[in-house]
């Protein structure tokens, strides 16, 4: 039976790996060498990665690809994409090329307001806490003046603070709802530091306040944290063209547009489809969010909450055909940063931001929204014409061949054969077996 290990974080990397090998891998030397293969030969770079998290034992590679030809607001971009799924970069590139001669993508930031809350337990009379808040509001704001100093110089900082009475939803529940502008920073650390200071000041002032000394109840801080739901940090991206320009050798424009709109309507109606539809959008978004060192979990959580804003989970993209014009757009909340966090630490993140011509956070919001829209366009286009598997399996073929350790000649013959045959895992295995 495995015994709990104490003081693990204090062990050296080698000791941690040895413990792992002894405890779970029957001291398997190949497991240990697999880990060391992925260490970086540059000790400085390895140390940087070691220090990102606790108990690092090795690095985990994901492919870093690029998708060129994205015309966004009349500027050409090449998108850096970090993703393991075979067909995502190819799909992005196809969509970019499709829209290149049709005016490209147009994107605009609607607003950039972030938010966070100090959640409060208070079971007394609501008039008391509301009056108290009005009295101390200026002191709460003043308490973060030194924390805000640098952010203010950059044009950001706390925008507003209000006391929200949520006690009808949950007994004794109030919150200080705070809004922030964080400019090019994602702002999580800044917001959380401000909130914790505001919370401390609020509690200290409440402790000394006569109103609560006389009452039986006293406000207590439950927790203080930013919200990853950022519906006021919103971006929109769209593509538009005459329906006739949608015609390809595969399908006539009007038929394609009708099928496309039907696919969107299905995703708006049926949450089971909407989740997969939006997952495809996130294929593009996450790949860019990861490449640029942003927090994809925060983005995921916020985007999916937004997809439910009407009370049921629905499509993040929309399409219309009006006066012969096909319009397809996305509107999503995105809290992104191009300074702070990993952006100045991780060499590949710096590289990704350089490819994008060092965008502001607002520009990055637009580019990321476009990546989501493009990915969704490519997916729906396949789904309503050839089906998804044709393109997907074509890209996945190399994974199957690599799994089988195929040599270059086997790979070449297999790729050639499957240009005219349906790719399935077993068909590829049978074909390679026959070659051998
Ligand atoms: C696969 O990663 C993404 C798709 O399932 C998206 C969709 O169905 O719209 C193809």
In a domain, 280, yes or no: yes
Task: State the pLDDT at residue 294.
Answer: 97
Number of compact structural domains in the chain: 4
325-333/317-322 β-pairing:
antiparallel
262, 363: one domain: yes
348, 261: one domain: yes
Give CA separation, 379 vs 220, 279, 391, 427, in Å: 50, 10, 10, 25
Residues of the chain above pLDDT 70, percent = 100
364, 281: one domain: yes
Question: What sections of 293-360 are H helices per DSSP?
Answer: 296-307, 347-355
In a domain, 56, yes or no: no
> Could you confirm whether 279 is annotated as catalytic?
yes
In short, whether 375's Cβ falls inside 6 Å of ligand 1 is: no
In short, whether 283's Cβ falls inside 6 Å of ligand 1 is: yes
Structural contact between residues 63 and 348, judged by C-beta atoms closer than 8 angstroms: no
Site to probe by mutation for ligand 1, drawn from 81, 85, 94, 279 as the one with most ligand atoms within 8 Å of Cβ, is: 279
Residue with CA at minimum distance from ligand 1 atom 7:
277
CATH of the domain at 336: 3.90.770.10
CA–CA dist 436, 410 (Å, integer): 8
Tell me the per-residue pLDDT of 292-313, one tens digit each, with 9 for 90 and over: 999 999 999 999 999 999 999 9
Tell me the per-residue pLDDT of 260-270, one tens digit each, with 9 for 90 and over: 999 999 999 99
> Could you confirm whether 295 is annotated as catalytic?
yes
91, 172: one domain: no
Residue 32 confidence class, pLDDT cut points 50, 70, 90:
confident
208, 152: one domain: yes
155, 97: one domain: no
* pTM score of the predicted model: 0.93
Site to probe by mutation for ligand 1, drawn from 277, 388, 395, 396 as the one with most ligand atoms within 8 Å of Cβ, is: 388
Of 111-125, 260-274, 384-398, the poorest mean pLDDT is in 384-398
260, 194: one domain: no
- Per-residue tokens: 32: 């240990």
265 CA from centroid of ligand 1 (Å): 16
Residue with CA at minimum distance from ligand 1 atom 9:
277
* Residue-number span of the structural domain to which 203 is assigned: 114-226
Task: State the pLDDT at residue 215.
Answer: 78
Residue 392 confidence class, pLDDT cut points 50, 70, 90:
confident
Residue 213 confidence class, pLDDT cut points 50, 70, 90:
confident
Q: Using N-to-C axis directions, what is the helix angle for 271-291 and 347-355, rounded to 10°?
A: 100
119, 102: one domain: no
The minimum-distance atom of ligand 1 relative to the CA of 85 is: 2
In a domain, 17, yes or no: yes
pLDDT at 1 over 90: no
**Stretch 134-158: mean pLDDT, rounded?**
98
In a domain, 93, yes or no: yes
Average pLDDT, the chain: 96
The minimum-distance atom of ligand 1 relative to the CA of 87 is: 2
Residue 321 confidence class, pLDDT cut points 50, 70, 90:
very high
pLDDT at 52 over 90: yes
239, 373: one domain: yes
């Amino acid at each position: 039976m495995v015994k709990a290990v104490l003081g693990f974080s204090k062990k050296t990397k080698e000791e941690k790996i040895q413990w792992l090998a002894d405890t779970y891998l029957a001291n398997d030397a190949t497991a240990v060498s697999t880990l060391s293969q992925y260490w970086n030969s540059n000790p400085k770079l390895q140390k940087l990665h070691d220090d990102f998290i606790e108990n690092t034992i090795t690095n985990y590679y994901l492919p870093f690809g690029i998708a060129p030809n994205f015309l966004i607001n009349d500027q050409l971009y090449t998108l850096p994409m970090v993703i393991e799924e075979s067909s995502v970069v190819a799909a992005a590139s196809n969509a970019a090329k499709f829209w290149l001669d049709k005016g490209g993508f147009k994107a605009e930031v609607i607003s950039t307001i972030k938010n966070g809350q100090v959640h409060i337990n208070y079971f007394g009379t609501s008039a008391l806490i509301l009056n108290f808040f009005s009295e101390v509001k200026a002191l709460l704001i003043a308490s973060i003046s030194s924390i805000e100093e640098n952010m203010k110089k950059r044009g950001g900082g706390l925008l507003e603070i209000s006391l929200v009475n949520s006690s009808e939803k949950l007994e004794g529940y109030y919150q200080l709802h705070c809004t922030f502008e964080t400019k090019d920073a994602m702002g999580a650390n800044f917001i959380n530091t401000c909130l914790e200071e505001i919370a401390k000041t609020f509690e200290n002032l409440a402790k000394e306040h006569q109103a609560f000394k006389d009452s039986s109840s006293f406000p207590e801080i439950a927790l203080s944290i930013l919200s990853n739901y950022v519906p006021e940090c919103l971006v929109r991206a769209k593509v538009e063209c005459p329906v006739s320009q949608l015609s390809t050798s595969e399908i006539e424009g009007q038929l394609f547009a009708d099928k496309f709109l039907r696919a969107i309507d299905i995703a708006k109606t049926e949450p089971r489809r909407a989740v997969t539809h939006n997952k495809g959008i996130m294929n593009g978004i996450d790949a860019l969010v990861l490449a640029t060192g942003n927090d994809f979990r925060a983005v995921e959580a916020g985007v999916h909450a937004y997809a439910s804003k009407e009370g049921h989970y629905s499509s993040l993209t929309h399409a219309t055909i009006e006066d012969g014009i096909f319009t397809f757009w996305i509107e999503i909340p995105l809290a992104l940063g191009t300074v702070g966090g990993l952006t100045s630490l991780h060499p590949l993140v710096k590289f990704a931001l350089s490819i994008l011509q060092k965008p502001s956070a607002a520009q990055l919001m637009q580019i990321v929204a476009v990546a989501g829209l493009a990915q969704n366009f490519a997916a729906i286009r396949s789904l309503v014409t050839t089906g998804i598997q044709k393109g997907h399996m074509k890209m996945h073929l190399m994974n199957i061949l690599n799994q089988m350790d195929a040599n270059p000649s086997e790979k070449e013959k297999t790729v050639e054969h499957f240009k005219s045959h349906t790719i399935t895992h077993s068909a590829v295995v049978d074909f390679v077996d026959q070659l051998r």
